[in-house]
Structure formats: structure tokens, C-alpha cells
Amino acid sequence: MTKLWGGRFTKTAAEWVDAFGASIPFDQELVFEDIEGSKAHARMLGTCGILTEEETNKILQGLQSIQKKVEKGEVEFSIALEDIHMNIEKLLIDEIGPIGGKLHTARSRNDQVATDMHLYLKKKVKMIIEAIEEMQQALLHQAEQHVETIMPGYTHLQRAQPISFAHHLMAYFWMLERDKGRLKDSLKRIDYSPLGAGALAGTTFPIDRSFTAAELGFTNIYENSMDAVSDRDFIVEFLSHASLLMMHLSRLAEEFILWSSQEYHFIELDDTFATGSSIMPQKKNPDMAELIRGKTGRVYGHLFSLLTVLKGLPLAYNKDMQEDKEGMFDTVATVTGCLKIFTGMIVTMKVNHMNMEQATKQDFSNATELADYLASKGIPFRKAHELVGKLVLLCLQKGCYLTDLTLAEFQKASPLIDEDIYNILSPYEAVKRRNSDGGTGFQQVRKQIEKAKKLLHPNL
């Protein structure tokens, strides 16, 4: 097949060379963005008098016809035509004749593909933000049900202090809120139109770049044509934000994996989000959570890959930049899928609140309560810390917990300890009393839940 750009060539590439250089196997993902950009470009050419009204209408009708055929699955793309742009242009020429070749006036594939990716990412980032909000809503719903569900809080994966299960879940709500904020902010950089920048130097035709920007819903145009076609910062930024988001999902996935194990048995995942073993009939594996944890590395890889591709490129466009798309497409699909799966896991999980509460009664996570109690009696906290440490040692030697000690044993350590210590050491009371701003106290947890609800539903 003769290339649309092949006028100065005397040889054609072998099929395997064409296949190596072609991007159509993956950039066909941009087909509707490419058609949308082409429609805007055609309307601009007509408005500026570069195309006649008849030519403009014919091109727009041809593009609309191609779009309908693509939607019906009636179009096969050709590797020989390299990419989505040349495939659409060839389809247009076949549809309406040589006039279709006028569509490429005053533009290059360089500004065309950049425009396609801006359009694509603008749409997909908004979809991901919506998916994040659905997961936040699921976390919020579970948190509302479990404000007074007590569980062990951990540091270094060792039991540290009792906390509200809702408080733990809400920590991830706020992580996702920051992820959402970063993605929303990135839309400012995505919202730029490169269309009309040409290959790198602009064009001699009297085009109106602001017209096409407005037609495509962009707020801004790139001020420098070389920057317009070579900028992939907006994709790097998206991949960076996606990596942070996946890191947060991976951390929660790890907790779900631990909590659903027999050793913890704090939650049970719905059968929909678990699998069995081919050899061990009793197994219920948290495979979906494990996959999310594993797919995090995949997204990280796409970020590092694009940074590496771009790090030594001179201006303006280079064929290396063809490698910017697959990672972007895969990240969008991966992040969207992980958010949907996680939302389902959260909504359907069973919380074993009795097991959580029981776990707080079989450890020393209430030791800080005793230290705070002594400090409130006037003992310097460092001294109180030492006294409590010795009481914990006594318990370890006796094979019991702090609440099992007699009042006489407490008072031997410090006569300031009174009978109210048993209420103070209650895990429920320990959680309830932590009412500093942002703390795990029930009042504070309800306060952050209300604030979170207003963020998700500002009009309620």
C-alpha cells in the first residue's frame, strides 16, 4: 500500500518493518477523539475560508459516517497505514473522494496526536474522579455503621492503641480525597489545546487556534508551537498521580488481606471478590485484593517508562514519543478497574466486630491510657512511662494483662492509682476519651464523617 506521505520515497518497507513502527494496534483507542478533533479542525478551516462551505460540509458528513461505522464495529484498521490518524484520513478519502485529503491542511500528525491525548485524558481523569468518589462513598457508609466498633490500632504491625474501625476506614477516605484533589488540579494542565501547532513551527495558513480550542472544550491554547507538540508533562503528571492513588489502594488491599486471614478474622470478603484453591478445598483467597496490590507495580512501571523515554529527547517531536500511549491507556484501565473492584469489596464485606473488640482485650494496647492517667495525676510523663513499662513486664511474667492486675499491685507501682483505673483501661473508654481534633474518639469520628459527607454531597 502506498503511504499517504510516501511521495519522496522509492522503496516501501517490508510488512514486518511496518508492523514494528505502527501504533494502530493501540492508538485506535483514540479513534473517537481523533474524529472529534478532525471535526473541529474542519469547522475552523471552513470558518477561516481555507475550505469552502461545501468542502467543509462534505468532510464533516464523511467524518460522521465513519464515526457511525466505527460505533457499529464495521471498520477494520490497517497496520500499513501506521496510526489512527492515517487510517481515518484514508477512510475519509474513500468515503468522499479527494476532498478528504484537504482535511490535513494546516495541521500535522504531531499536533493531531497531542490533541487526541489531551481530549482522551481530560475525559478519563474525570471518570477516575467519579470512581474515587464512589469508593469514598463506600468507605463512608461502612464508617457510619462502625463508629463504635473497636479494633486494635497498629504501629510496626504491632498492637499499639485501640481505635474505632470507622476511624481506620476514614484515614483512607482522606487519602482518596487528596488523590482526587491532585487529579482535579491536573485538569488545569490537560486543558490546553495543541491543535494548530503543526509539526513544530505553526502554519502559514490563517487559522484560528482559539476557535478549535473552544470547539473541543479547551480553556487554553499552547503559547509555543514546539512546546505544544513535544509536551507530555500532562501524561507524566497523570501517571504520577495514578501511582500515588494505586499506592493508597495497595496499602488498604494489604490490610484487607491481613484482616481477612484466619489469624485476624476481622473481616470476611464477599465470595464475589475471593477465589478458591485447586487443591485445598477449605481455602478462600483474597485474590482481588492481592491483584490490586500487584497491579500497583504495573502503574509505577508506566510512570518510570515515560520519564525514561522523555529524559533525553531534543525538541520537538521524535518517534520515541509513540511510547507515551500504551502506558497511559493501561494505567487508565488498571486504575478504573481497581477502584471499581475495591468499591465492591468494601460495600459487601462482613465486619466481625466481636473479633475486633476481643483482640483489644488480649494485648497491652491500653498501656498508654495508664501512662496518661498517671501524667494527669501530676507524674512527669517520662516517669509514668517507666512505671507502666514495669507493670507490663510484671504482666508478662505473670501471663496476664493490665486489667487482670489487682488494685494492690497497681498501687504498689504508684499510690496515685485508684479504682477508676479499670474503667480507664477499658478499650471502649480508651477510644471514647480520645477527643482531640482528628482523634479516634467517637465524637471526633462522627465529626469527620459529617465533614466528609459535605465534601461528597455539597448540596445536601
What is the C-alpha separation between 133 and 139, in angstroms, rounded?
10
Nearest residue to 83 (alpha-carbon basis) of 14, 29, 121, 38: 29
For the annotated catalytic residues, the residue numbers are: 156, 277
Nearest residue to 141 (alpha-carbon basis) of 433, 391, 343: 343
What is the C-alpha separation between 284 and 350, in angstroms, rounded?
14
What are phi and psi for residue 244, nearest 5 degrees? Answer: -65, -45
DSSP type of residue 150: E
What is the C-alpha separation between 85 and 106, in angstroms, rounded?
15
In sequence order, what are the beta bridge partners of 192? 220
Q: How many CB atoms lie within 10 A of CB 153?
A: 18
What is the C-alpha separation between 220 and 6, in angstroms, rounded?
34
Nearest residue to 403 (alpha-carbon basis) of 148, 149, 162: 162
Nearest residue to 137 (alpha-carbon basis) of 390, 358, 339, 318: 339
Sign of the Cα pseudo-torsion (163, 165, 170, 172, in order): positive
Q: Which runs of E-coded beta strand occur in 314-369? A: 350-351
What is the C-alpha separation between 242 and 329, in angstroms, rounded?
12
Cβ atoms of residues 212 and 196 within 8 Å: yes
What is the C-alpha separation between 264 and 283, in angstroms, rounded?
15
- 429 CB-near residues (< 8 Å, 6+ apart): 423
What is the C-alpha separation between 401 and 427, in angstroms, rounded?
13
